[in-house]
Structure 1
């Protein structure tokens, strides 16, 4: 019998450059909040995250860490709460969504340009190594596209 085991890739992206700086992989049943300590760098001051990371500042691991507790967490509002916000707050949320959108671009490259839409489960470690290579290649591709053409 062939079993399918779901896997999720998590990345940390620099807001200024858009380059991936952290990659982790987990089983699909692991909550996103469990990976936050692996994705945030010690020198980060502000972190933008989607609604799946709500309540991150209350987690014991984050509250106990000197580096993580000093971070300003800008977490997206859930869709239902977003509709109920005043127009000015929705505009701020829209601006923050533009910053969070930088995380999606490397996933687009990995899926569209490299064709990595499905994977065989070969163990978390092997799949994580594969993701590391894919996102490192995505960084190189983004860098190459950003360079001006000479000649």
Structure 2
């Protein structure tokens, strides 16, 4: 994959083979026509201009509600990556070799899981051992 190629042209290479459904942002519109596999259910976000161009109010509102559901799903998927970038500084990939990069990413993902569960974990420790008062 080259740096100047659009992701939508490389969609076939991004799929691993066991996908049942694919959720994608509006930049991947038309990707379902590029991929050979027809057994995958595609959920590509609609471009905002296309949604606004719908003249029937009922259909436009239903389409907007569907787009909100897609955005919620995307938010849940992308939140761990936001934590990786902001809390642990994993903004740029460093080329160290595939094995070292894989170990680093898995370590950061484990730390991200702990970071997101910190409030529940701290609540559990407070139940087990009460805070020492001075």
Normalised to the residue count of structure 2, the TM-score between the two structures is 0.66
Structure having greater relative contact order (Cα 8 Å, sep ≥ 6): 1
Task: Name the one with the larger strand percent.
Answer: 1
Task: Name the one with the larger helix percent.
Answer: 2
Q: CA deviation at 1:97?
A: 1.1
Find the aligned partners of 1:73 and 1:31 in 2 and give their Cα distance: 18
> Over alpha carbons, which structure has the higher Rg?
2
Residue of structure 2 in register with 1:3 after alignment: none
Residue of structure 1 in register with 2:132 after alignment: none
Residue of structure 1 in register with 2:86 after alignment: 112
CA RMSD of aligned residues (A): 2.9
Name stretches of at least 5 consecutive residues in structure 1 with no aligned partner. 1-25
The 1:34–1:139 alpha-carbon spacing in structure 2 relative to 1, beyond 3 Å, is farther
Q: Count matched residues.
A: 115
Determine if contact 1:110/1:135 at 8 Å carries over to the other structure.
no
Runs ≥4 residues deviating over 3 A: 116-119, 127-135, 145-148
Normalised to the residue count of structure 1, the TM-score between the two structures is 0.60
